[in-house]
Structure 1
């Protein structure tokens, strides 16, 4: 029992959950039933496939989270004992229900980001995306397996051994479809006519940061190692590399990529690249010490720092400010360019994707006539080009 307002918390979760489910139904229905003529499943942008997988996760996972907080509400105000151990309840049940949704929620962010990476890499490598079919299959495997690895968050919570072992293997296994995506992006870059524009730099920076986060995620899945680093700074380092930093980096790259389409203007390329390098260097150097701190046993959420770790934390603080400077410069560039940027045509990147065939910014209904699709969005390198 705590003095916190559990009712407000539960109401907020239900409200956000209802809106997320409505959005998921909208997107999934649109993708399935309202594709343009000729837009087969094999011609969808990988960004759309990423959204499709993400909203399937939302549709399945949010009701479980809603059930978890509803039982919390009942315990608090109606006298039930779902989570109260003294009355026969199980407090770990809440952790199971929470993480059953909360871990797949990582992929709600990651899957669309993977798709955006494919759009940027293919466009600025001037090559058809390598292994399109395997990318789609990998996306859907991640969508399914995302619900099968939540117990690695509970390895130290008294979970039975057979479940810990199974979930440890599944956590390692989910790295395979993710690795397929990394391999395919690198294969797409191979011998491509690469243009190192600001969006492309952000995509490459994302891949670099995400690989570090992904490898440390595999380590987290190893039962013996995870027990050692659980609730240490290793976990915060992994989370920042695999989600907070990498996803932010790529989202900014996506904004730069579609900025001409959204505004009809170009951003400042020089400021964009300076902001990228500040953010990349600050992120990489600033958060890598977290892994060292975690292995050496520094717990997370402690305000007191042992003297031997002071130097590491000074590095973290210094380079965090450098990363923040890069992100602030990016925000300034976007806001300033939206008003003062040089005007551009409908397709400054010479992209093959459908959205670049309409004026910039797009008119209210996008297309005057429904387009007929005759090829996929990554058909670069044809003789007529």
Structure 2
């Protein structure tokens, strides 16, 4: 993987860059649609490719390990071939999913014992086994196995967890150095900064991760319930330490406002289930605010869903029709909303890139934040 930092905004820390992998070019800042189990929920790969057009999507090690399983994935030739996707894929290591199991897992130095959320069967993840699973999945960018701490989190626990995440990182690197990739193309490895919302721990973790000298770095353990202001503070601390010549990925974030604010702090890559999950509940993100399409006020509004939208659904259908689909519980409504929201998120990050290059990102961001922070 090769990263090039191409432009820096003069009035903020925002950056425009380019990542090149064996599966193509990723222009940053970038939002990665979440395809947890080998599908971005509710839409076809053709719609994803042709209408939304992301450079990269995300899959999840925990979920793919359970279903369809690594044997199926290996026989298929990896996730790209299995799902019919010829662009970039990043896989989360499953640390967050294991964290979210709470009562159904036990964390220790060796790794994590957990029970499947599907059938209750017992499994074990270690840094080494998670690296091997990601070798089989064959993603272009793979993540270190870490522990994601909850919010709020006791300082002592956060410190012990951070140090264990660092030890796990060393084990991940050691295992990857001993094992080849499986499908004839390279895999880039990103370690993950932890430390909860404690400044000294975040600094310490960022310094440790920077010293690992990986080709890219991630920030984990945020967007788990902490106030947005604390998220931004931690992001700024970490971005000021992580190398400037490598991409920075903020995991699991977030709202359109969160994304713009973190781009301004120097973050390059984002993922979140919010655009697809909220779409299925009838919430649409637009450049002028959010729309709850289930509201009665849209019942006889025959204007386009979003005149400024970049996908074909935005002008093909009316707000009244989309509201009708949700009222009738027709799945087409969820599909339309999903295409719209993902299209908007990709438009937002690409617009951010254009304004960074043009040199007026900070001014544009402030305007967008005010516009988007409305309920229509």
- Per the normalisation by structure 2, the TM-score is 0.22
State the structure with more CA Rg: 1
Per residue, is there more helix in 1 or in 2? 1
- Per the normalisation by structure 1, the TM-score is 0.22
